[in-house]
Amino acid sequence: MTARILDGKALAAKIQNELADEIIEFIENNAVDPTLCAVLVGEDPASEIYIRNKRKACDKVGMESRLHRLPSDVSQEEMLKLITRLNKDNEVHGILVQLPLPPQIDTTRILCAVSPHKDVDAFHPENVGRLVQGRPRFLPCTPYGIQELLIREGIETAGRHAVVVGRSDIVGKPLANMLLQHGRGADCTVTVCHSRTADLGAITRQADILIAAVGRPQMITAEMVKPGATVIDVGINRTAAGVVGDVDFASVREVAGAITPVPGGVGPLTITMLLKNTLRAAAEAVG
């Protein structure tokens, strides 16, 4: 058996086409341009690429984008002042703080300073709390993309055992919460594994849906996967052999029922869901 490839890049393009139509209608009805503002500190090459891709995606769907560049030695006070100005700017609907931030900046304090109504990454404690309660304002972008992929690819989730490998605040924890909730792309029985999990393979082999989000190249091997399982690879690891995921794709695709590739799987959906959140923020702002 060779797994069906879950093409996140193609799905992202489809959703962006839908978004483009929704944005045209929104602008016609409200005379407001949905606007995403990114804050970039320093000149980290990976961050530069991420920001460039996000701005291209904004252009594709007809969304306004702004970029505030700050030097790598910017003070926390200056950065907080900028966030305050953006919070008060009625023409800005979504604020994206590109991570990582330099060591003199308290990342948690900066993310908490972003208005929860403009927090399109869904990092603010208020938005995290709303997610846990099952009444989210925004869904975190990578988990949102994964859930949308499961829904649109017809992957049954209700009653299935989902195993999430990784407990980060960005992917593992919010995704586990989303899969636990009632509704489409959810109603799973969820297990979260991490660096202290004993006999990881014994647990991952129970998964009907296995999500790898740990940042360790090709750590999930074929022996760790239940035959026919759906495998979602969130990892993006740069190695001497090129970019690889957290899953050993070549071997696992011979066991799994469906699998995401790296690149071209979850990554394009993350940016797309950021745009969906920004449109929602703009709709909330106009009432």
Q: Is the per-residue pLDDT at 70 higher than 80?
A: yes
* pLDDT tens-digit series, residues 94-150: 999 999 999 999 999 999 999 999 999 999 999 999 999 999 999 999 999 999 999
- Identify which of 277, 249, 253, 251 has the alpha carbon closest to the alpha carbon of residue 263: 249
How many CB atoms neighbour CB 250 within 10 A? Answer: 9
The average pLDDT across 31-45 equals 95
- Whether omega for the bond prior to residue 71 falls within 30 degrees of 0, making it cis, is no
Distance (Å) of CA 197 to CA 164, 175, 202, 281: 12, 18, 10, 38
**Catalytic residue IDs:** 54, 98, 121
* pLDDT tens-digit series, residues 206-233: 999 999 999 999 999 999 999 999 999 9
Mean of the per-residue pLDDT values for the chain? 97
Q: How far is it, in rounded angstroms, from Cα 255 to Cα 80? A: 49
- The pLDDT value recorded for residue 46 is 84
Q: How far is it, in rounded angstroms, from Cα 127 to Cα 129? A: 5
Residues in a beta bridge with 35: 64
Is 168:192 a contact under the CB 8 Å cutoff? no
Q: Is the per-residue pLDDT at 1 higher than 80?
A: no
Distance (Å) of CA 234 to CA 28, 181, 195: 37, 21, 16
Q: Is the per-residue pLDDT at 202 higher than 90?
A: yes
The topology (CATH level 3) of 141-267 is: Rossmann fold (3.40.50)
Residue intervals in the chain for CATH 3.40.50.10860: 31-118
- The pLDDT value recorded for residue 215 is 93
Determine how β-strand 237-239 pairs with β-strand 242-244: antiparallel
Q: Is the per-residue pLDDT at 275 higher than 90?
A: yes
The topology (CATH level 3) of 31-118 is: Rossmann fold (3.40.50)
Q: How confident is the model at residue 30 (pLDDT cuts 50, 70, 90)?
A: very high
Residue keyed to tokens 């009432």: 287
Q: Is the per-residue pLDDT at 269 higher than 90?
A: yes
- The pLDDT value recorded for residue 241 is 84
Both tokens assigned to 11: 């799905």
- The pLDDT value recorded for residue 233 is 98
